[in-house]
């Protein structure tokens, strides 16, 4: 699994950071960073949920 971000679509709503903080981080400038682009198996269910929950559909998965 690989997590991808469309930076042009992301509005930094931070839903993903609340659902999978070990993978997503929002910096002080409201820029989203993917800390683990290839999350470990124990995080993958949370990451899938975070991707589905993105209000702007700025996140996607490559499996």
* Every domain of the chain and the residues it spans: 2-62
pTM more than 0.95: no
Query: What is the per-residue pLDDT for 53?
Result: 98
Residues 6+ apart with CB under 8 A from 30: 12
Query: Which class is domain 2-62?
Result: alpha beta
- 58/4 Cα distance (integer angstroms): 8
pLDDT tens digits, residue range 9-62?
999 999 999 999 999 999 999 999 999 999 999 999 999 999 999 999 999 999
Query: What is the per-residue pLDDT for 56?
Result: 97
- If one counts every other C-beta atom within 10 angstroms of the C-beta of residue 2, the result is 11
């Amino acid at each position: 699994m690989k997590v991808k971000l469309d930076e042009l679509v992301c509005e930094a709503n931070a839903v993903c950071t609340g659902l999978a903080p070990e993978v997503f981080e929002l910096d002080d400038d409201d820029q989203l960073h993917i800390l683990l682009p290839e999350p470990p198996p124990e995080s993958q269910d949370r990451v899938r949920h975070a991707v589905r929950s993105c209000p702007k559909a700025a996140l996607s998965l490559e499996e």
